[in-house]
Structure 1
Amino acid sequence: MKKAILYAAMMAMALTMAGEALAQPSRDNSLEKILQQQNALKADLADDGIEGLTPRQSNIVRRAQEEVFLVTAGKTMIDELSMEEKIRLENALERINAQVRNTRAGGDEQNVCWREAKTGTTIKETRCGTVAEMREAREGARDYLERPKTCAKDCTP
């Protein structure tokens, strides 16, 4: 249990550092600390796993770590990453943190970013929000699309 708490604290610290580095390029924006923590977590997963994580959660963490290592391969600074790579890195770190925290609330509070084209243009913009906000927006859009398009005699739109 102590091991799980230690990892949760490490992941929170890594996400904080990554978020600060992405938000403020004037700070030390080295990927070294993130990679060190991910390598330590990877080694513990390879040894005997992390106490409290199910095999499914361990696999989710491993896949997210593969994404982290793939995005950061050959790079030493966050400034070297493209916007899409920064988004992929942030999302992977958030997935890892949500699994290590091991709660539904942790999953709902997980920040995710995505790129979407503005309507009528080819310009892409980055949108960020929590998983819960993204699910709420998706359900709202689905409800809107499922509404009747024409009104019968006594319906109110």
Structure 2
Amino acid sequence: MSMKKAMMALILGGLLAAPLAFASVDRNVLQVESIRSQQAEIRSGVEARTGRYKDLSADTRSQLLNKQGEVLRLLDGKQSTNDLNEAQKTEVFNALEWIEAAINQTDDERMVCERRPILGSTRKERVCKTVAQMREERDAARNRMDARGACADCKSN
């Protein structure tokens, strides 16, 4: 394995580990500097259009660079992800997951988190699912609604 490939594997490994650690942010706080350095490495590869980034479309490259800009803006002046509020943590997590999915071209495996209200409470909880899981749930709900028809309790004469 060449030195360049070994370095990319190390960087990508860190990128892959970051969202996993972020999913349980209460126990594992990410250091902002490691996120910044990983994103800088990715940015240089994307802008140079080399290695695994050479096949990215212009639109994907543009979106990736915009997502990186969002992440870096949110992390500006912060030392760790603990310095972010819950909405910002979710936004950073989703952007990092999008970047990873774009690089690996695995959008269905990308985790997406939402902050949803808990029924009967003013609190919110973080719910994370893959894009594939969300699509399956949406399709199943749509199929149940379609199968029900206009009137589920009506009996035909």
Q: TM-score of the superposition, structure 1-length normalised?
A: 0.77
Q: RCO (CA 8 Å, sep 6+): is it higher in 1 or 2?
A: 1
CA 1:153–1:5 in structure 2 vs 1: closer, same or farther (change >3 Å)? farther
In structure 1, give the amino acid aligned to 2:66.
R
1:44 equivalenced with 2:45 (yes/no): yes
1:17 aligns with 2:30: no
After TM superposition, give the deviation of residue 22 of structure 1 in Å: 5.3
Distance 1:54 1:48, change over 3 A: same
Q: CA RMSD in A?
A: 3.0
How is 1:50-65 mapped onto 2 (pairs within 5 angstroms)? 50-65=53-68
The correspondence for 1:82, drawn from 85, 97, 108, is: 85
Q: Which structure 2 residues correspond to residues 1-157 of structure 1 after superposition, within 5 A?
A: 10-20=11-21, 23=24, 29-48=30-49, 50-102=53-105, 106-146=106-146, 147-150=148-151, 151-154=153-156
Give the AA of the match of 1:142: R
Residue identity (%): 28
SS at structure 2 position matched to 1:137:
helix
Give the TM-score taking structure 2 as reference length. 0.77
C-alpha contact 1:7 1:41 (8 A) present in aligned 2:
no
Residue 79 of structure 1 and its aligned partner are, at CA, apart by: 0.9
What SS is found at the alignment partner of 2:149? coil
Q: How many residues align?
A: 151
Contact 1:4 1:100 in 2 (8 A): no
Q: What CA deviation, in whole Å up to 9, does each residue of 1:14-61 have, x standing for no partner?
A: 230343255265656311011011122223333446312111221221
Cα–Cα, structure 1 residues 112 and 26, in superposed 2: closer, same or farther, change >3 Å? closer
Q: Tell whether the 8 Å contact from 1:64 to 1:92 is kept in structure 2 after alignment.
A: yes
CA distance in 1, matches of 2:116, 2:27: 27
> Does the C-alpha gap of structure 1 residues 5 and 88 become closer, same or farther in structure 2, counting only changes over 3 Å?
farther
In structure 2, runs of 5+ residues without a counterpart are none
